[in-house]
Every structure is written in structure tokens, then in C-alpha cells.
């Protein structure tokens, strides 16, 4: 069997060693004689798995003790609703619009409170992240999306918010480089990019933002559904209902793998190296060009176009590129319809060799088709 290099925007590649370990433990995990898929989430067999996963995540990210780590379901998309439902007080929030996912978050938040879109890069089809040094005003919270999978941009520096809780959707670049958790009220992330298979969502929330009868922040309105309350899950250690046990288990393996292989410093260096290899080629190419502005370029997602101006010819060339790349073992390189062209997602566990192979393929393709 030949493994391909998967450049999908998600789910993404996982470390091969992790996949092998999960396969080896499929029928018997930790000597229990059962698969994690079969374990009761409240059993003594599963309790150490979720506890170790949380502990390793805390260690790798430097999560302060006054933050809760929750393992939830519903993806980042459910957090678009949970955040305003749980943080609403005066009924007003600030959002920065940097693409499709922030747009979806804004749309959902408007169901529950008033939203000020204080900055947007829509004017240039989200090819940059607008500079916002500070956010001031009477807001329940401010919301940012740290990395934009479709348009290939990321924050170089987050705005200062003072006493306003800063909420971050970090789904597509969590653990790709250092992140000062203490600057945020909430960080949430779907796991299927850098953490685990799809199914689990990590929510890191400062304890003073959790509202409920047992919390100093006060209770929530009675009409907030039980499953959409952070206190529901915080009070029960993510065990109010059955969590996505297998995804949590694989996340634990991924985090241990990262820890054993140099942690955040090592993966940051690797990600910057991979991105440099690809961007350096694109910047020098006479046939391809990146779409994101230099100061906003993502380390995780790299959209690029051909320089062909005729739309029909460009689309035909894109299809040819994607098809020939797939034959060469470089799969899922088609760009999103809102950008066009191609997109290489090079998350944490895309090997450097995969990026080098892509660049070599692009050089050959350029020579044959320019």
C-alpha cells in the first residue's frame, strides 16, 4: 500500500505512528480486552484516557489553571451559537470578519445579540487580515478567527481587548505555533486539522466566564438549552453525556506524539519551513501565484492560482493540474470555489517531504504547460 500526500483542508493527515498505534489497539486498548469504541465513557478504562489527553493538551499549550478544557461535539459551528448564548449580558459583541467561517459565526451570533463587525477584509476577497490594534467599547466579548482555511490568511498579532473577553476560533491552526492562552477568554477548535479525527471539539474557557448556579459569574437565562451551557459540561468534566470517546483517544495519541517529537517549538519550526518552501517557489514562479498578501499568509493553508487570465482556459488548466497531481500521489489540491485555482493545506502532520514533492511536481507542470 502506498500512502498519498493528502493536502485536504480537513480532515487532514495524522502521524503515521499514531495510526499504527490506533490500529494495533483497535481490539485491545491498554490491556482491557476491548476497543475504545466499546468502552463506557464512565468506566475506569476510559477515565485515564480523557484525563491524560487533557493533561497533555494543557502542558503543550501552557493552559493556565483557571481555564477549563472541555471536549464537546457539534464542531466549531456549534460554538458559533454557544458563545453568544453563554456570554450575552448587555447583548452586544464585536466581530472581525476575515472570511467564510467568521461570516458564519457573525450570522449565528446575530440570532442572539447585536453584532458590530468592526473590521473586514471582504473588500479584497479576504486576501488579508485587517489590522486592529485594540478593541474598545461596551461589548460582551470580541471574536476573531485565527486562521482562514479558504482564503489562506492568519493573524500575525491579535488585538488587545482589555477587559473584553477575546474569543478565538482556532480550528485550523491550533497547536501549529505558540498561542498565549491567557490573552483569550475562550479558544475553541474542531479537531480535524491538527488534533484528531473529526468528532470532538476542544473548548478552552476561562472559569470566570462560565455562568451557572455553581459559578460566580451568575446564572444563564432559563431558555438556554441544557446541552448548550458551558457549565453543564464543565461541572461534569465533559461527561454530562457520552463524549466522542474514540476521537478523544486518538487526540491523546497525537498529543503524545507531538510531545515526544519536540512539542510546540519543533512543530512551529517545521511548519514555518514547509510554508517557506512552498511560498518561495510561488513567489518566484512565472506560472503560479499565491493569493494571500504576504503579511497575512497562513502557515496551514496555501491557495494559489495560475497566471492565465482567460477564465475558461484557467479552469481547464486547474482541472488538469489537480488530476495529474492526484496521479502523482498528491491529492485534494482543488481550490475552494470562492478563490478558485488550487489550495495546499499543509497542517502539522503533512511531512516536509510532501511539500517538497508538491513543489517538484509544480516545477514540472510549469515547464510543460507554461
Known catalytic residues are 101, 169, 193
Separation CA 150–CA 312 (nearest Å): 22
- The three-class DSSP label of residue 132 is coil
Residue 264: name the closest of 335, 212, 194, 317 by CA.
Answer: 194
Helix, strand, coil content of the chain in percent (nearest 5): 40, 15, 45
First to last CA, the chain: 34
Q: What is the 3-state secondary structure (H, E, C) of 258-301?
A: HHHCCHHHHHHHHHHHHHHHHHHHHHHCCCEEECCCHHHECCCE
Buried b (16+ CB within 10 A) or exposed e, 61-78: bebeeebbbbbbebbbeb
Residues 151, 129: Cα–Cα separation, whole Å: 10
Closest by Cα among 83, 348, 51, 331 to 203? 83
5: part of which helix (H) or strand (E)?
strand 5-6
Question: Do 188 and 201 form a contact (C-beta atoms < 8 A)?
Answer: yes
Q: What value, to the nearest 5°, has the Cα angle with vertex 277 and ends 342 and 265?
A: 115
Amino acid at each position: 500500500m502506498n500512502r498519498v500526500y493528502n493536502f485536504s483542508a480537513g480532515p487532514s493527515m495524522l502521524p503515521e505512528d499514531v495510526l499504527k498505534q490506533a490500529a494495533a489497539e483497535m481490539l485491545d486498548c491498554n490491556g482491557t480486552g476491548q476497543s475504545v469504541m466499546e468502552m463506557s465513557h464512565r468506566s475506569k478504562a476510559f477515565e485515564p484516557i480523557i484525563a491524560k489527553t487533557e493533561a497533555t493538551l494543557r502542558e503543550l499549550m501552557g493552559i493556565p489553571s483557571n481555564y477549563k478544557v472541555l471536549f464537546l461535539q457539534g464542531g466549531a459551528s456549534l460554538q458559533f451559537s454557544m458563545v453568544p448564548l453563554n456570554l450575552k449580558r448587555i447583548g452586544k459583541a464585536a466581530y472581525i470578519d476575515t472570511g467564510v467561517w467568521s461570516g458564519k459565526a457573525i450570522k449565528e451570533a446575530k440570532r442572539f445579540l447585536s453584532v458590530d463587525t468592526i473590521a473586514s477584509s471582504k473588500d479584497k476577497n479576504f486576501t488579508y487580515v485587517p489590522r486592529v490594534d485594540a478593541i474598545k467599547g461596551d461589548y460582551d466579548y470580541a471574536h476573531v478567527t485565527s486562521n482562514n482555511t479558504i482564503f489562506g490568511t492568519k493573524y500575525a498579532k491579535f488585538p488587545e481587548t482589555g477587559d473584553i473577553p477575546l474569543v478565538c476560533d482556532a480550528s485550523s491552526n491550533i497547536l501549529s505555533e505558540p498561542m498565549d492562552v491567557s490573552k483569550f477568554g475562550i479558544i475553541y477548535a474542531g479537531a480535524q486539522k491538527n488534533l484528531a479525527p473529526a468528532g470532538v471539539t476542544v473548548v478552552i474557557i476561562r472559569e470566570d466566564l462560565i455562568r451557572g448556579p455553581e459559578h460566580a459569574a451568575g446564572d444563564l437565562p432559563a431558555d438556554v438549552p441544557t446541552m448548550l451551557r458551558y457549565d453543564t459540561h464543565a461541572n461534569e468534566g465533559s461527561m454530562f453525556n457520552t463524549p466522542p470517546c474514540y476521537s478523544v483517544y486518538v487526540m491523546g495519541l497525537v498529543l503524545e506524539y507531538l510531545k515526544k517529537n519536540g512539542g510546540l517549538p519543533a512543530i512551529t519550526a517545521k511548519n514555518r519551513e514547509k510554508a517557506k518552501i512552498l511560498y518561495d517557489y510561488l513567489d518566484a514562479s512565472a506560472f503560479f501565484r499565491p493569493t494571500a498578501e504576504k503579511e497575512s499568509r497562513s502557515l496551514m493553508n496555501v491557495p494559489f492560482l495560475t497566471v492565465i487570465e482567460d477564465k475558461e482556459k484557467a479552469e481547464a488548466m486547474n482541472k488538469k493540474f489537480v488530476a495529474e497531481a492526484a496521479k502523482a500521489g498528491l491529492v485534494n489540491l482543488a481550490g475552494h470555489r470562492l478563490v478558485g485555482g488550487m489550495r495546499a493545506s499543509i497542517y502539522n502532520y503533512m511531512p516536509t517531504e510532501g511539500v517538497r514533492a508538491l513543489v517538484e511536481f509544480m516545477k514540472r507542470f510549469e515547464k510543460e504547460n507554461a
